[in-house]
Amino acid sequence: MGKSRLCSEESRLDALRRYRILDTTPEEAFDDLVHLAALVCRAPISLLSLVDQARQWFKAKEGIEESELPRESAFCAHAILGTDVLVVPDTHGDARFQTNPLVLGAPGIRFYAGAPLVTPEGYGLGTLCVIDRVPRSISPEEIRALRALAREVMVHLEHRRILLEVTECASELEAFSSTVAHDLRAPLRAMRGIGEIVREDYSGRPLGTEGVALLDRMTDAAGRMDALIEGLLAYSRVSRQEMILEPVALGPLLDRVLEDLGPDLASRQASVEVSSDLPVVRAHRLMLGQALINLVSNGVKFVAPGTAPRVTVSATRAKGKAILAVVDNGIGIAPELQERLFRPFSRLPGADAAFPGTGFGLAIVRKAVERMGGRVGVESAPGQGSRFWVELPLASGA
Ligand code: ADP
C-alpha cells in the first residue's frame, strides 16, 4: 500500500490511463456505490473522483452538478497521498483547506471524508468521498463502510479493465486469424494449381525442363509457406514468452547483434556504425537482441540496387527513458504505409520481388518492445532512408 507514495506522478497517471475510465459515461455499478456511500455516511454529497493531471473527474456523483473540478481545489488530491481514509471534520479549522475555493464558495464544503482508491500495484487513482456543508464527525463504523465501498469500487474498476482487454484481444485474434488464413492459402493454392497442371499435362510424358520448372515453383511455394509458418511461430513465441526484465547494457548487446549478423553484413558490403555511448535499459535481453537483429538487418536489406548499405545506431536519454535509433540510407517508406508495417504479414507493395521476406520482423519488434513496457516507431520518406526508434525505460540508477 505505502508503495504509491514512492511512485512518480507520471507512473500514477500511466496507471490511471490503463483503466480507460476518464470521460466515460455513467455506469450503474459506480452510481450505486456512490449512492450507498452517501446513504451510509448520511452525507448530502458523495463522489467517485479520479485525480487526473490537472483536474479531478467524477465517474459518479451525487449532490453536485459539476462533472469535474480543477485539481488545485481537489480535496481528493490530498486524500490519495495517504493510505487510509482522510477525514476533515471542519474545513474552517484546517490550514490545508481554509482558503480552498470549494470551501469559500459553492458548494461550501465544511466536512470531508475520502477513502483512497488504490490499485493492486499501490497507485492512488482517486477517492470515494462524502462531503457535507456543515462541520460534523464520522463514526468508526461509517469509516469502515466507506473503506469497504472504496475497495468495491476498485474491484469494479479492475473487472472493467480486464473485460476491456479481453474484448480487445478477441477482436485482435479474429482479425489475425483471417490474415493468417489468407496469407497461408496463397502458396497452398499455387502448389495445388501446379500439381493439377502437372497431372493434366504430363501424365504419361517425361517432365522435361518445363515440367521441372513447374515443380521448382511448387517447391518454392512450399518453402515460402514454411517461412511464413516459421515467422508465425516466432511471433507467437514473443507473444507468450515470460517477460522477466533486467538491466541490459545496449553496447555489449549490439556487439552480439553485429556478430550474429556478420556474414549477412559482409555479403552486402554493409557498414554499421554503433555509438560508443549507449545506455543500460530495463529489458528482456534475448527479445531485445532479436528485435535489434530485425531492425539492423532490415536497415541493410531495404536499400536501392547498387547502394552500399550504411546503418548507424545511437541513443538519447530523457525523463528516465532511452530512445535507441537505427538509421539507414535505404529506400525509405511513405508515411501512409508506416503504421501497418508493424502488423504481422505486412510488407510494402512490390517488396516481394526485390526483397524477399515474410513481414514478421517488425511485428516481432513491436510485440517484444511493447511487452517490455516500451514503444517503437519510424520516421521515413521514400528515397530518404528510415529512422526506426525504440523507447525503453532506463535501468534505475543508469
Ligand atoms: P520482412 O523484412 O520480412 O518483409 P518486416 O516486418 O521486417 O518483414 O518488414 C515489413 C516491411 O516493412 C518490409 O517488407 C519493407 O517493405 C518495410 N521495411 C522494413 N524495414 C525497412 C527499412 N529499414 N527501410 C525500408 N523499408 C522497410
Q: What is the pLDDT of residues 260-279, one digit of tens each?
A: 999 999 999 999 999 999 99
> What CA–CA distance (Å, rounded) separates 154 from 82?
16
Average pLDDT (132-144) is 97
* Residue from 235, 311, 326, 347 to probe ligand 1 pocket by mutation (most atoms less than 8 Å from CB): 347
Ligand 1 binding pocket includes 348 (Cβ within 6 Å):
yes
Q: SS3 of 276, please?
A: coil
Atom of ligand 1 nearest to the CA of 331: 25
pLDDT at residue number 212: 93
Q: Point out the least confidently predicted range of 7-11, 105-109, 367-371.
A: 7-11
- pLDDT tier at 53 (50, 70, 90 boundaries)? very high
DSSP 255: H
Measured from the CB, is residue 351 less than 6 Å from ligand 1?
yes
Return the C-alpha cell found at 118.
Answer: 488504490
| 7: confidence class by pLDDT, cuts 50, 70, 90 | low
Q: What percent of the chain has pLDDT over 90?
A: 72
Contact 206, 165 (CB under 8 A): no
Residue 122 has pLDDT above 60, yes or no: yes
Q: Is the CB of 359 under 6 A from ligand 1?
A: yes
From ligand 1's centre to the CA of 292, what distance in Å?
Answer: 13
Q: Determine which residue's CA is closest to atom 7 belonging to ligand 1.
A: 361
Count CB neighbours of 184 within 10 A: 16
Q: How far is CA 141 from CA 118, 133, 146, in A?
A: 21, 21, 9
- What is the predicted pLDDT for the residue at 299? 96
Cα–Cα distance between 64 and 59 in angstroms, integer?
A: 13
- State if residue 298 touches ligand 1 by the CB under 6 angstroms criterion: yes
SS3 188: helix
Ligand 1 proximity of 47 Cβ (cutoff 6 Å): no
Q: Dump pLDDT digits (tens) for 143-176.
A: 999 999 999 999 999 999 999 989 988 888 888 8
The model's pTM? 0.69
> 5 pLDDT exceeds 70?
no
385 lines ligand 1 (CB under 6 A): no
Which residue out of 272, 355, 362 has the highest number of ligand 1 atoms within 8 Å of its CB and is therefore the one to mutate?
Answer: 362
360 lines ligand 1 (CB under 6 A): yes
